[in-house]
Chain A
């Protein structure tokens, strides 16, 4: 990781230099982005970059944007965020969970700059948070997977045992169980967000052990390619990965940030920006499902119906009662379903997951 830090530092300096000296005379709004990975990761960071490009297209020459890629989480990011603020950016999006504390710290030093932190939970007068309800898409994937699996065994490549990943596994299983109560899932934790080789190895191991539908919570299209090689089915993650598995991809959860970026930038231009907490799902199109492919029409219909029901609010993936893997019913804090706090801090598996959460 050492190399990443140095690269990040170097890129940051260059970008700052460009941002500082290349500033035009007219007072344009400057919008900054901090990215975790390279813009070409074809996953998380790539989708944020797509969002930024959407913003540029929509706003034209009303704004200037700058992005810094490969910025490590932790102290390094604090420096990068501060540099963007110093260079005159009035709206700064920090796009990874680990930028949370650095964002809050820098925000307290620049009260006139507005900050937007992705996937975190700490806010301030000039810091908003935003994220996607990706578990909604996972529920649909669970239904499709259970319908399409011939052997009733799903393969799940997981990254780190944090609530977002765990709620994704649970949501998948709850969806799958509505179709096949005896559905099984094999889970491999690769302890990395991004290692194409390892993701491919995990996908091979799952396929070798008989899973015939693969899903992933890691960032590269490696698993999709293995599925294509083996002639089995899979779901894309973060972006539409159809070209890596034209005959394998069933659908993909696509992060669609552009509408949010456009709206928030307009708010700053109008002077109506306020600190908010946005957790958008299918309804607000922050989470979008890639086209449903490689499945018969009845499955496609189930998927679109489920999507419509979630959008309409008549179906919630975590509707009560939710039973954990030991058979204990989870307290229902929301209105007929688990509340957002319970989903955001989820650290248990639902009934039917035959695995242990690592380190628990």
Chain B
């Protein structure tokens, strides 16, 4: 049973950055914008988050720096794709390249430094409960925030007028524009929100997961977050399932190896991705045609006609 607890704790830690980044990107894509720069915004969040925490000595200030860095990167993307109507795919890729380089520059002076990681919650009786105590009541603030964030996004998208407008903009920007909604402004806010989430996801890595900064430490998690949004067919609830499934498969394959089950590790390492492909196939089969769950205006540049 101790094993179960240990595995679950690792799974939650591995899933949280994916969930945070993917939740932000989900809102962005729901507004009809495809930002492939998640990896770049994340690594900037990691560098600036660590720098902020190291200089100030506070994890909270570090996290805020990460959020701001992610949002600042997203602002560049917004200026290009919304302001100048540049191709979104190319801009997103460029954002990732920029983020990778710039974060290395910013973080260069902080490589090899250490900080105290984000503290974990400790409630007198609850945390010490057997089995579920530490899993439910012994996490750091990032974990609780990630769950609250997804619930908040779900409430916003499906239970508020603002969410309805955002989805309308994503599904048909021309109609939304004709109805008088400020399409570009809504999209800009969504993009900034997505950037902030990606920045926070990046900041989670050096502030809680592995408390040091190394260039390139996101190691492709931004791309996985992008895949998760598709995997979840743009629904917040499924996103939680997807992120935790991905985290679980990643961690379980490590444990299977340590147990010496003799399954080739290359196959094991590819399992999470294999699972993603299989679920995508299942989704598209049940829907009849692939991709119909995607916001209809996703990735299409919008230039107001007046």
Contact = CB atoms under 8 A, between A and B. Distances in A.
Contacts, number: 131
B254 A201 contact: yes
A37 B265 CA distance: 24
Contact of B258 (A7, A186, A191, A196): A186
Contact of B219 (A7, A189, A196): A196
Given A38-B215, A204-B10, A188 B100 contact: no
Given A3-B100, A222-B210, A189 B265 contact: yes
Contacts of B255: 205, 208-209
A37 B216 CA distance: 9
Please classify how large the interface on chain A is, using the bins under 10, 10 to 19, 20 to 34, 35 or more.
Answer: 35 or more
Given A189-B265, A197-B221, A243-B112, A41 B258 contact: no
Q: Is the interface of B mostly helix, strand, loop or mixed?
A: helix
Interface stretch (A76-84, A257-265, A311-319, A351-359): A351-359
A339 interface: no
Nearest to B94: A6
Interface stretch (B62-70, B79-87, B103-111, B144-152): B103-111
Interface string B206-223: 000111101111011100
Which of B107, B214, B217: most chain A Cβ within 10 A?
B214
Interface of B: 3, 6-7, 10, 13-14, 17, 39-40, 93, 96-97, 100-101, 104, 107-108, 111-112, 114, 205, 209-212, 214-217, 219-221, 250-251, 254-255, 257-260, 262, 264-266, 269
Nearest to A1: B220
Pick from A7, A41, A201, A225 the residue with the most CB of B within 10 Å. Answer: A201
B6 A40 contact: no
A201 B250 contact: yes
B211 A205 contact: no
Contacts of B215: 38, 40-41
Contacts of A289: none
- Of B39, B210, B264, the most chain A CB neighbours within 10 A belong to B210
B111 A40 contact: yes
A250 B259 CA distance: 25
A14 B112 CA distance: 26
B189 to A, nearest CB: 27
Given A188-B258, A208-B10, A198 B219 contact: yes
